[in-house]
Amino acid sequence: MCGTGQLEETLKTPCGTGERANRAMVVERRTTRIVSRLPLHLTAAALVAAVGLAFVATYSRSGTEPERDSIPLGFLLSSNPPGLPVVARPPASQPLVGLATDSYLDITPVRRTMGLDLVKMGWTYNCMECHALLVARWHYDRPMVEHENIEFDHGNNRFCLNCHHPANRNAFVDYDGSEIAQSDVVLLCAKCHGPIHRDWEAGVHGRGNGYWDEKLGPKTRLRCIQCHDPHRPRFPALKPEPPLRYPARAANPPAVLHPHVSRSESHD
Amino acid sequence: MTDSSENHASQETASRADASVDRRVFLKKTAAVAAGAAGLVAALSPLAKLERGEITLDALLQKHYRKLTPSELRHILKDLEVQCHKEHGVRPEIRDPRPMDGVEFGYALNLTRCIGCRRCARACLAENNQSRDDADDLELSYIRVLELDKGAINLETSDLYYDAELVPRQGKYYMPVQCQQCREPPCTKVCPVQATWTEPDGVVVVDYNWCIGCRYCMAACPYDARRFNYVRPKVPAEAINRNQSYLSNRLRRKGVVEKCTFCLHRTRVGKYPACVEVCPTGARLFGNMLDPNSEIGYVLRNKRVYVLKEEVGTLPRFYYFFDA
């Protein structure tokens, strides 16, 4: 599983490979979003942490990047009280995949994951922080009042505990009830998607970046959940790049040339 | 009797003919002189360009690419860098990576995964320095994405200009087409000056210094894979990719043909082509067909691949397949 190491490295590194000039701003916006979802007594602490993080993010790399004109902390001074963003939750970011030298190409994965943002901000992915107190409940027919942002559309796979381990929320569950580590999520998906897993192992399913010749450089291959939302795995529809322009002359052909061929006929 | 009448007629004809021959000869001579003068001017125009510094003596006297010695090539690359700096304000690094031993490139495209987002066509521009009026001008991109009804196989029913809010659209599938890097390329056979040929790793290349712009190759290609620079290439200086090579993405001049080279300035140093890098769904697969452990090797062994227009006998190195 060549993709695993790459992801873990990304998780550990607070600054992803493809950080842009506005990363401090992004950190703050993320912070604002998170803050709004936490109890009040955590808000203050998180805010302090966010400001600190923003300063670190802005100045720690000043040796390698051009100096910025001002500190982008305008949101603190604006009319919005901290913790109450006016805009809808901004899209989460994904680290770039592939080589840093290819950043002139659009190599950002399309899936927007919130988890990576949380981890980058210093949070753990330790679900048991809460779920040690909240035991698994088997009421599938009730509307879900927690994890409201999850839109669930995974075909026949409709039950939380088909994938999540009932006792250990940091792990996934195998057919025999044993645990599958979070980092082995590929094996979880392989429970049902065998042929695709086989292709993925061969490097034929999923996005590849970097070097085709592994003797010359690293190849990155994304894992299932870096492209697919596990709760809603269909690949999202995208806005296409604008089409090739229909040549102006062809769009308005002189009527005398081919009066018997109408335009709709000619390119049907 | 018959003789005299014939003589009589011939005299008349002769006198009329004499008069017209004078005019005809005069016109012929004038035309010949004019053509000769025009030809002379045309033949000497490179010298005028040389005089004005538009081309260098090395470029004027350049031999065919495949007959160049390494030092001659180095000089030419250097000159091209200087020329690019002068014309476009950007100093590129033009290299000439050679084919790798034991490598024959192959490409596979999974039509089940392609969603028609045209990211590949756009990335092709960013990578290969094609001329464009603005950032959205895909005219010279080497990739054309076709939209077809599901179940349709006839490319004449495809739509090249689909303009959707979101893709994929219901009931459609998408087929990107680019140079198929044929094993029997018709385009190289028709070139009158051998400015285009197949390299040992299977890439069909064009020498832009050698191309005379006759566009026979474009007429010969069954895949519409070649593009022509009708105007002097326009690339914004900030958008120029400085990593260039002689046979692929260096800036072209007006009046030459260009085409997909599998990004050989990337792939010959082991990297994926730009279109593979940006494909968000991983529909595009690339690798060394001679390596049985490569991704492309797996596809050729395990998927039911097909080639485009098999009946024309071009034997493409570009394979399409459906999955799942």
Nearest to B235 by CA among B258, B213, B265: B258
Going by the DSSP 8-state scheme, the letter that residue A211 receives in this structure is B
Q: Cβ contacts (< 8 Å) between B157 and chain A: which residues?
A: 268
Cross-chain residue pair B279–A207, CB shorter than 8 Å: yes
Q: Cβ contacts (< 8 Å) between B278 and chain A: which residues?
A: 105-107
Q: Cβ contacts (< 8 Å) between A204 and chain B: which residues?
A: 110, 285, 295, 298-299, 302-303
Question: Quick one: CA dihedral B241, B242, B243, B248, positive or negative?
Answer: positive
B228 contact A CB<8A: no
pLDDT at B86: 92
Cross-chain residue pair A237–B241, CB shorter than 8 Å: no
Cross-chain residue pair B127–A105, CB shorter than 8 Å: yes
Query: What ipTM is given for this predicted complex?
Result: 0.81
- Give the pairing type, strands B105-110 and B318-321: parallel
* Tokens found for residue A114: 């919130």
Contact B196, B206 (CB under 8 A): yes
Q: Indicate whether A198 pLDDT > 90.
A: yes
Cross-chain residue pair A242–B276, CB shorter than 8 Å: no
Contact B262, B181 (CB under 8 A): yes
- Please give, rounded to a whole number of angstroms, the shortest distance from the CA of B140 to a CA of chain A: 9
SS (H, E, C) B11-74: HHHHHHHHHHHHHHHHHHHHHHHHHHHHHHHHHHHHHHHHHHCCCCHHHHCCCCHHHCCHHHHH
Beta bridge partners of B320: B109, B306
Identity of the residue in B160, B270, B272 whose CB atom sits nearest the CB atom of A244: B160
Q: Indicate whether A20 pLDDT > 60.
A: no
- The backbone region for B243, taken as left when phi is positive above 0, alpha when psi lies in -120 to 50, beta otherwise, is beta
Q: Indicate whether A261 pLDDT > 50.
A: no
- Give the pairing type, strands B305-306 and B318-321: antiparallel
Q: Cβ contacts (< 8 Å) between A246 and chain B: which residues?
A: 161
Is it true that the peptide bond before B168 is cis, omega within 30 degrees of 0? yes
Q: Cβ contacts (< 8 Å) between A103 and chain B: which residues?
A: none
Beta bridge partners of B287: B106
Q: Cβ contacts (< 8 Å) between B288 and chain A: which residues?
A: 212-213
Query: pLDDT-derived band of residue A4, with 50, 70 and 90 as boundaries?
Result: very low
Instruction: Please give the residue that has the higher pLDDT: either A49 or A100.
Output: A100
Per-chain mean pLDDT for chain A? 69
Segments of chain B scoring below 50 in pLDDT: 1-2
- Please give, rounded to a whole number of angstroms, the shortest distance from the CA of B163 to a CA of chain A: 6
pLDDT at B68: 93
pLDDT digits (tens, 9 = 90+) for A161-197: 899 998 888 899 999 999 999 889 999 999 999 999 9
Going by the DSSP 8-state scheme, the letter that residue A229 receives in this structure is B
pLDDT digits (tens, 9 = 90+) for B2-24: 455 555 666 666 666 665 567 88
At A233, give phi and psi (nearest 5°).
-75, -10
A218 Cβ partners below 8 Å, 6+ apart?
A: A6, A210, A211
pLDDT digits (tens, 9 = 90+) for B138-160: 999 999 999 999 999 999 999 99
Nearest to B174 by CA among B262, B278, B281: B281
Those residues of chain A whose CB sits closer than 8 Å to some CB in chain B are 98-99, 102, 104-107, 109-110, 195-196, 199, 202-213, 215-217, 222, 227, 235, 237-246, 267-268
pLDDT at B7: 56
Rg of chain B in Å (alpha carbons): 26
